[in-house]
Amino acid sequence: MLWVIGITVPATTLVLVLAQNFTTSEQSLERKIEHRHAVSAPQFRREMSVLLGPTIVGGNQVTALQNGDEIFPAMLRAIRSAQTSVTFETFIYWSGEIGEEFSQALSERARAGVAVSVIVDWVGSMKMEQSLLDAMEVAGVELHRYRPLNWYNLGRMNNRTHRKLLVVDGRIGFTGGVGIADQWKGDGGDPGHWRETHFRIEGPVVAQLQAAFNDNWIKTTGRVLRGESYFPALPDAGDMDAHMFVASPAGGSESMHLMYLLAIAAAASTIDLAAAYFVPDTLLIEALIAARGRDVRVRILLPGPHIDSQTVKIASKSEWGGLLEAGAEFHVYQPTMLHVKMLVIDSEFVSVGSTNFDIRSIRLNDEASLNVYDRDFAAQMTAAFEADLLMAEPYAYARWKNRSLGQRLTETILIPIKSQL
């Protein structure tokens, strides 16, 4: 009998520890947020500032970079120009040409005496050769893998950092959807090269990007990066209002959920959503349907035949019916994998960053999003969205209604694990 207890107690303990990976310690939002004011109303900005954390600051310049041909040269130029510090956090970092190029650029700056601090997610960097890690560390890069496999991490193994943050000298920042891997190279014009948007940022909001990096640096090392090398005085660089906020199961896990719900509830005329992974929860679906009830045009752009996760594609489609029936427009991108993450509302508000429109990003990942409040920038992003629509096929309600029995059964089977996809 004792030997049974000896086996059962450790096994039960392990199951309970692993079960922590599928929950957060915080209460979740349970009720939909009603439409009370528009995105253009001062009250919207006030609430977004105080409810999400960092206040909205003016004087910024945000530049959209399209696909690897624009994204990687801009990031590498910034790294190579660094004089005092580089902070870099990413989910995907794989071996290959672009991985080698980043390793060399970061290593060269470290050898030149620049403080280079790097966080790569342990799961997201599994395809990274040890030689790349070794080369950077030998050069003086302080590199840490986020939540590697250890006994003391078992309860948090499912909590990954999905943030994409690069800050150079505390003055130039980058965020968006790009990973450090060869499939992001090129112009996004064929299945081997993904469609992506990333953003270069200057102005006071860069300090908030640096604070977002610091959030996980402290969790990983127990140390805080501070001083003028990381937080210099930042003059105005443009006239855009923006703020950067983070979400994590360790604290503020509902921030991203709340942001989406507040923004959608404020929409008065248009919602344009590009989502690499679209697995929303019931509240988000209801919010979009409620927007259609206010006669808001809702356009949703998703990956088509090319996607890196077939389970996400299947699970996603089960949620389309109510939205299609309510009049939401679905468009599926044809040339390659669409990895863009962008929300544009009422030609005034734009949210970009690492966050997917799915339960995993909202509840389980560490994420970071940049919200920009600027009509000219929103017009640019709407134009980019509509250019992508030209490369997409509309998906009608009748097509969804007539999908095969096999598809429907598979969707049903995946329902219990939707939050993990």
Catalytic residues: 162, 164, 169, 339, 341, 346
Instruction: Give the angle subtended at the CA of 412 by the CAs of 286 and 11, to the nearest 5°.
Output: 105
Residue 302 contacts residue 272 (beta carbons within 8 Å): no
H or E stretch at 118: strand 115-121
β-bridge partners, 176: 198
- CA 133/CA 141 separation, integer angstroms: 9
Instruction: Give the angle subtended at the CA of 192 by the CAs of 320 and 316, to the nearest 5°.
Output: 15
- CA 232/CA 170 separation, integer angstroms: 6
Strands annotated E in 309-348: 329-333, 342-345
Instruction: Give the angle subtended at the CA of 402 by the CAs of 400 and 408, to the nearest 5°.
Output: 75
Chain CA centroid to CA 207, Å: 19
- CA 300/CA 306 separation, integer angstroms: 17
Chain CA centroid to CA 138, Å: 31
